[in-house]
Amino acid sequence: MAIRRVLIVDDNRDSAETLGLMVELWGHQVRTVHDGPAALEAALADPPEIVLLDIGLPGMNGYEVARRMRGLDGLDGVKLVALTGYGGEEDRKRSREAGFDRHLVKPVDPGTLEELLSGL
């Protein structure tokens, strides 16, 4: 399995740190941030291959973060994965329109996430 550079963005610090530990146990390199501006800064400083991005962030929500990432030079190959409690059809449509590649609903099945990280 390829080692991926993963950026986790979630304002729930416990959730973000737990997810980060799990992804690290699978052998990936992880960076964790807790808001939209920090996500953009981290992505530009050290471009990840995959961003696991919560939509329900305070201030700049995940849809806006995704749109901005899609417009930044050097981040065009990044895979954006919505990792959110919002799972309705309208939420999925909005995530596609914002530039997300995948939409996963919390709590995400660890096997599904591991498979996704391996396959992207």
Q: For residue range 64-89, what is the model confidence (pLDDT) as tens digits?
A: 999 999 999 999 899 999 999 989 99
Rounded to the nearest 10 degrees, what angle do helices 62-70 and 89-98 cross at?
A: 30
Q: State the pLDDT confidence band at 1, using cuts at 50, 70 and 90.
A: low
Element housing 119 (H / E): helix 110-119
C-alpha torsion 100→25→29→58, nearest 10: 50
Predicted local confidence at residue 76, as pLDDT: 86
Q: For residue range 27-71, what is the model confidence (pLDDT) as tens digits?
A: 999 999 999 999 999 999 999 999 999 999 999 999 999 999 999
Q: What CATH code would you report for 5-119?
A: 3.40.50.2300
The helix/strand/coil state of 70 is helix
Tell me the pTM: 0.96
